[in-house]
Structure 1
Amino acid sequence: MSRLVHIVTLNWQNWRETFVLLHALRELRYDPFQTVVVDNGSKDDSVPRLRETFPEISILEEKTNLGFGGGNNAAIRRALDAGADYVWLINNDANPAPDALAALVDVAERDPRAGAVGSVILNRDRPEQVDAWGGGTVVPWVGYARFSRGPGEPLQYITGTSMLLKAAALRDVGLFDERFFLYWEDTDLSFRLRQKGWNLAVAKSSRVWHTMSTTTGKDPYNRAYHIMRSHVLFLRKHAAAALPKALTALVLQSLGKLRHANLVALRAIWAGWLAGWKPAV
């Protein structure tokens, strides 16, 4: 029996990239699926353009930008209420192969405890280059996550660039923690899945081409701020000795920004570091 999949992507004032993804989704060799675009408070004409060109999709219009976790959660709740078996989260700057979804579902169906399955993420500008083999590992003392590059490498999380989530797993562990506005929310969810006994897997035949940070990359302060803020929050939730690790990450990243005279990012990581201690955990 084919499993119902809800495909979810976020749009924030970037309808051109979203168009490319939605055209690719029309070529998927999988059935049944429902595509849902969450418009995260765009102030441009994204929504009318999407409705006119892609009448078959559902659009959830949010009044404000809810971030990655909040925006996706809105669509995930709808998917669970509709009886979806799986939710496929895919970035709007990604381009999946026609068999990408089928390969993800096939791997998920083979393992009843597969809570999240990732794709092989390839570089859109260098199509044969593997940027991430499904996900990667966390380097807490540095403040970054490191992508796995091939089979057999450690896998602590599935990247949200392309993440198939099993509905039963979501009902068990919950949705994204919306205190993570941007970055590390996929890692947090992956850790919570593993803590509850769910497995992470990679579908080696699921290929997705991706352009890194097409939205947040345009604002270096915002990107650096949220990476550090979310890293501190992640450490507070999951790491022993969170303060020493967070301090070490702050020092190492500060030295890197100073070496490159990147004062904008330096100010951002300090502000993000302080903000990361504010939410209750």
Structure 2
Amino acid sequence: MLYIVIPVFNRKNFTKECLLSLKRGTNQNFKVIVVDDGSTDGTAEMLREEFPEVEVLFGDGNLFWTASVNMGIKHALQQGADYVMTLNNDLEVAEGYIENTYKWMAQKPNAIIGALEMDAGTREPAFGGEIVDFKLNKVRHLLHELPKEKQVGLHAVSQLPGRGLLIPRAVFEKIGLLDQDRFPHYVADYDFTHTALRNGFELYVNYDAKLYTYPEESGERQNRQSKSLANFYKHLFDIKGGGNLRDFTRFTLKNCPTPYIPYYLANGYARRIFGYMLK
């Protein structure tokens, strides 16, 4: 059985639309767990009244993304889940999303599989997987490399985000849950997939499984739109800062091959500091 884990904090309208998109799907062979980390906007009431089939777990407002996801994953595994999918609430899935997930799950039962992200506004592809080259300090974006006719099926990658991330039970049994101590909010998904890859699990993006995202709604995007010294500080040091230097340092020390660490860190610090000012 596939369990879908969705961490939420307020923004109940996004949560509602996300769940409705799942209900419109051509395959309903899944269960949903929502982890509500202290919402104050009526999310719990909305879920109880409109989605009684959804199981809801509650946090106290201090879990952040990673601990919320881990709470849901642990519960799913206790219920006997064969696969767990992490899904953010600020997205919607295409009608064939689950159906095409099962299609490729059968072909690669032990692989971790991500989704093709589409911009919800333009309906154009926005993200299709990445391959990291630590030696050259480069990230290849497959969506920019693949011609249109090849943007189907599975494509191997070296890291994946947690938006629509399908994870077999065997992965948790071998490497454990996401690292919520080092990465409480951002980077935990990338760290988890790098760890899985080192432990022999394949990573793919499924170009047949499409989900629709709202990039302008991300906290980091809004931070950049309203630049100030206070927001610059949040960008670099806040737990929800997209350029958090602590998280980047921990990720590098844990995942980058030792010979390339100094250059990778220096380059990454520069991009996070100066990139905020330039973008």
Work out whether the TM-score is over 0.5: yes
Structure 2: segments with no counterpart, 5+ residues: 225-230
Q: 1:92 aligns with which of 86, 89, 98?
A: 89
Q: How does 1:8-157 map to 2 (within 5 A)?
A: 8-114=5-111, 116-127=112-123, 129-133=124-128, 135-138=129-132, 147-149=141-143, 150=146, 151=151, 155-157=157-159
TM-score (ref. length: structure 1) = 0.81
Q: C-alpha separation between the residues in 1 aligned to 2:51 and 2:132?
A: 38
Q: C-alpha separation between the residues in 2 aligned to 1:117 and 1:140?
A: 22
Q: How does 1:189-268 map to 2 (within 5 A)?
A: 189-212=192-215, 214-217=217-220, 218-219=222-223, 221=231, 222-225=234-237, 226-227=241-242, 228=244, 229-239=246-256, 240=258, 241-259=260-278
The one-letter amino acid of 1:43's match is T
Q: Which residue of 2 aligns with 1:263?
A: none
Q: Deviations over 1:89-125 (max 9, x none)?
A: 11111111121012112212212431x1111111111
Contact preservation (8 Å) 2:24, 2:95: yes
Report percent identity of matched pairs: 23
Shift of 1:42: 2.0
TM-score (ref. length: structure 2) = 0.82
Q: C-alpha separation between the residues in 2 aligned to 1:69 and 1:145?
A: 24
Q: Deviations over 1:149-206 (max 9, x none)?
A: 1459761112211111111122111111102122221111111111111111222211
Structure 1: segments with no counterpart, 5+ residues: 261-281
Q: C-alpha separation between the residues in 1 aligned to 2:16 and 2:70?
A: 22
Q: C-alpha separation between the residues in 2 aligned to 1:101 and 1:201?
A: 16
> Aligned to 2:267, what secondary structure does the other structure show?
helix
Q: Deviations over 1:190-233 (max 9, x none)?
A: 11111111111222211111112625244453455433332221
Structure 2 vs 1, CA of residues 155 and 253 (structure 1 numbering), >3 Å: closer, same or farther?
Answer: same
Q: C-alpha separation between the residues in 1 aligned to 2:235 and 2:98?
A: 29
Q: C-alpha separation between the residues in 1 aligned to 2:165 and 2:250?
A: 22
Q: C-alpha separation between the residues in 1 aligned to 2:155 and 2:102?
A: 22
The one-letter amino acid of 1:18's match is T
Structure 2 vs 1, CA of residues 223 and 52 (structure 1 numbering), >3 Å: closer, same or farther?
Answer: farther
The one-letter amino acid of 2:157's match is L
Contact preservation (8 Å) 1:30, 1:102: yes
Contact preservation (8 Å) 1:29, 1:102: yes
- Please tell me the root mean square deviation across aligned C-alpha atoms, in Å: 2.5
1:182 aligns to 2:185 (yes or no): yes
Shift of 1:137: 2.9
Contact preservation (8 Å) 2:6, 2:88: yes
Structure 2 vs 1, CA of residues 186 and 101 (structure 1 numbering), >3 Å: closer, same or farther?
Answer: same
**Number of aligned residues:** 254
Contact preservation (8 Å) 1:136, 1:148: yes
